[in-house]
């Protein structure tokens, strides 16, 4: 429930969830499961199971509603002037201002909060603009259907030896109830759509479409969208000589509608990729690793006595992290509320904008889009063709439909046991080189990705109130009379055409680069000794 000390209503949509006494204590989750283990022969084993599984979702998602009440983290400022007082909502009677200010500003000790301050904070006017997290009264404990199947076969390959273990694992899961975050303070503007048909939003309070207030009412609710198909093929073999090898290949096809990548409701709401700007798009999961190879070789042998020498090499090769191509919607008049879509989650810094809105990929002669210049148009179209976006022309780019570069690394382990001549004790000297690939060559073993939240903007986007030809400045004089269409400064104004320009307000188009994860891309050497007895 929305947590207000006095039950104050901030907006009408919160009426049905305004219950301070409700909590999730006593919520039940029935988790039936079944499994089997079958061994039809000495060399074949098959096992599997399925059922309902819960847990794994951080409790902080629920506790956010008790921490962000609109009162506990709210603040206000009241000051006395020569003619009156500052800090009171418009329309507050002068007598009320004088009495409240007197109670607030007289006898301030700094060691206690005046009762008048608490009364003022919990009134209907002060918390109306503050951020609130709320829990859907119909919220259900997150859970999923899950089924697994595993098979193993121990093969005799003749001259290559016996006991080659081949295995396969299959996993399927389907979301029953998963967490989902949406801002119920951002409400649809009737009839206000973008050129590609997306809904635009406004602040339910504090000025509507012209509001620059970035605070939110984040509702934690549920979604039943999400599923995963995962398959693994693996191999293990060990010889009496001390040599062993192993390898596996994992394929993942995972989709979800709530990345849930952060600990706070505001970040979980903002750090996604959106078609509808108030709801994360259903698509490939941030956590999907579509192709993943693991491999290793190990050799240990006692060259003298029973003191073993060990060499081990472990490696992995995997496709890069999925990411989304987006466009950048600057804040409304320098605020953090998007001027195209009207939602929050964008920076108030006019040089950055919000990068979470999935890009509309124009056709070559698309009337829905014009460009700041012909050079920008040509550069953007060239990038669309070279990046793989070209197959989505006339559509919205998919969430996480692209991948960063492949990543490969090897880790090396060397160890030698030596005697101490004290009973049966011995010392093991060892050396590990993590990311041995980078040790061999500084350009190898580098992890390059588009960093969290895995969105990279291609262009800056604005709304034009009427269509304007490419290269013509919005609002410029029209030789045919009047002026060309102006840029919409908020989501309440018409959006007849998208205007694309370089990211960050630059003059020239430059694709955003990926970045090197420094810590994961450097090698490290660890040398040590271990005494056993």
Which helix (H) or strand (E) is 97 found in, with range? helix 94-105
Share above pLDDT 70 across residues of the chain, in percent, rounded to a whole number: 89
145 forms beta bridges with 52, 174
Report the pLDDT value the prediction gives residue 366, as an integer from 0 to 100: 97
Would you say 1 and 134 are in contact if contact means Cβ atoms under 8 Å apart? yes
Q: What pLDDT, in 10s, does the model give residues 450-495?
A: 988 899 999 999 999 999 999 999 999 999 889 999 999 889 999 9
291 forms beta bridges with 251
Q: What pLDDT, in 10s, does the model give residues 373-431?
A: 999 999 999 999 999 999 999 999 999 999 999 999 999 999 999 998 888 889 999 99
Report the pLDDT value the prediction gives residue 301, as an integer from 0 to 100: 94
Report the pLDDT value the prediction gives residue 89, as an integer from 0 to 100: 65
Would you say 448 and 404 are in contact if contact means Cβ atoms under 8 Å apart? yes
- Ordered by start, the domain boundaries in the chain are 79-125
Would you say 519 and 454 are in contact if contact means Cβ atoms under 8 Å apart? no
290 contact partners, CB below 8 Å, separation of at least 6: 251, 252, 253, 319, 322, 403
pLDDT tops 50 at residue 98? yes
**pLDDT bucket at 8, cuts 50 / 70 / 90:** very low
pLDDT tops 80 at residue 82? no
Average pLDDT (198-204) is 90
Q: What pLDDT, in 10s, does the model give residues 424-447?
A: 889 999 999 999 999 999 999 999
Helix ranges (H only) for 112-191 are 115-121
Q: What pLDDT, in 10s, does the model give residues 320-332?
A: 999 999 999 876 5
Report the pLDDT value the prediction gives residue 325, as an integer from 0 to 100: 97
Report the pLDDT value the prediction gives residue 12, as an integer from 0 to 100: 41
Share above pLDDT 90 across residues of the chain, in percent, rounded to a whole number: 59
Report the pLDDT value the prediction gives residue 114, as an integer from 0 to 100: 76
**pLDDT bucket at 13, cuts 50 / 70 / 90:** very low
Strand, helix or coil for residue 341: coil
Report the pLDDT value the prediction gives residue 380, as an integer from 0 to 100: 97
Among the residue ranges 22-36, 115-129, 332-346, 353-367, the one predicted with the least confidence is: 115-129
Q: Of 110, 83, 85, which is closest to residue 98 (Cα–Cα)?
A: 85
Local structure of residue 486 (DSSP, 8 states): P
**pLDDT bucket at 232, cuts 50 / 70 / 90:** very high
Which has more confidence, 508 or 104?
A: 508
pLDDT tops 70 at residue 18? no
Strand, helix or coil for residue 391: helix
DSSP string, 257-283: S----SSSHHHHHHSS-BSSTTSBPPE
Average pLDDT, the chain: 87
- CA-to-CA distance for 163 and 166, rounded, in angstroms? 9
Would you say 500 and 459 are in contact if contact means Cβ atoms under 8 Å apart? yes
Q: Of 231, 201, 227, 229, which is closest to residue 216 (Cα–Cα)?
A: 201
Would you say 189 and 202 are in contact if contact means Cβ atoms under 8 Å apart? yes
Q: What pLDDT, in 10s, does the model give residues 262-295?
A: 888 888 888 888 898 888 889 999 999 999 999 9
């Amino acid at each position: 429930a929305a947590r207000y000390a006095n039950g104050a209503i901030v907006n009408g949509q919160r009426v049905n969830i305004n219950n301070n006494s409700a909590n999730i204590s006593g919520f039940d989750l029935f988790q039936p499961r079944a499994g089997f283990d079958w061994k039809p022969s000495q060399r074949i084993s098959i096992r599997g199971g399925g059922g309902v599984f819960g847990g794994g979702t951080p409790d902080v998602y629920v506790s956010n509603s008790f921490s962000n009440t609109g009162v506990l983290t709210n603040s206000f400022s009241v000051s006395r002037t020569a003619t009156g007082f500052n800090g009171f909502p418009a329309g507050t009677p002068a007598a009320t201002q004088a009495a409240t200010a007197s109670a607030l500003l007289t006898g301030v000790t700094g060691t206690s909060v005046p009762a008048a301050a608490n009364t003022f904070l919990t009134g209907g006017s002060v918390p109306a603009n503050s951020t609130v997290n709320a829990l859907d009264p119909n919220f259900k404990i997150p859970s999923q259907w899950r089924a697994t199947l595993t098979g193993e076969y121990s093969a005799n390959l003749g001259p290559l030896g016996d006991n080659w273990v081949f295995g396969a694992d299959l996993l399927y899961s389907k979301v029953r109830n998963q967490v989902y975050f949406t801002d119920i303070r951002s409400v649809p503007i009737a009839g206000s759509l973008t050129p590609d048909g997306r809904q635009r939003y406004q602040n339910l309070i504090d000025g509507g479409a012209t509001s620059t207030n970035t605070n939110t009412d984040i509702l934690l609710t549920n979604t039943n969208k999400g599923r995963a198909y995962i398959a693994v093929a693996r191999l293990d073999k060990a010889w009496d000589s001390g040599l062993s090898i192993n390898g596996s290949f994992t394929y993942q096809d995972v989709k979800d509608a709530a990345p849930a990548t952060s600990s706070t409701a505001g970040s979980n709401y903002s750090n996604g990729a959106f078609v509808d700007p108030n709801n994360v798009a259903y698509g490939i999961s941030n956590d999907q690793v579509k192709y993943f190879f693991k491999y290793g070789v190990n050799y240990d042998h006692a060259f003298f006595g029973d003191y073993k020498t060990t060499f081990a090499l472990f490696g992995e090769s995997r496709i890069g992290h999925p990411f989304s191509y987006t466009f950048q919607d600057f804040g409304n008049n320098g605020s953090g509320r998007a001027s195209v879509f009207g939602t929050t989650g964008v920076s108030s810094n006019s040089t950055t904008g919000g990068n979470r809105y999935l890009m509309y990929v124009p056709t070559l002669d698309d009337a829905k889009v014009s460009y700041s210049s012909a050079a920008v148009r040509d550069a953007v179209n060239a990038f669309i063709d070279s990046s793989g976006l070209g197959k989505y022309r006339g559509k919205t780019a998919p969430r996480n439909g692209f991948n960063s570069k492949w990543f490969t690394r090897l880790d090396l382990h060397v160890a030698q046991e030596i005697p101490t001549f004290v009973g049966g004790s011995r010392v093991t000297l060892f050396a590990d080189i993590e990311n041995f690939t980078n040790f061999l060559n500084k350009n190898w073993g580098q992890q390059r990705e588009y960093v969290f939240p895995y969105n990279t903007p291609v262009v800056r986007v604005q709304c034009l109130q009427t269509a304007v030809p490419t290269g013509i400045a919005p609002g410029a004089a029209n030789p045919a009379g009047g002026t060309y269409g102006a840029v919409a400064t908020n989501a309440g104004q018409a959006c007849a055409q998208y205007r694309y320009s370089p990211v960050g307000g630059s003059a020239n188009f430059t694709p955003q680069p990926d970045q090197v994860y420094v810590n994961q891309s450097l090698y490290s050497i660890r040398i040590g000794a271990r005494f056993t007895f």
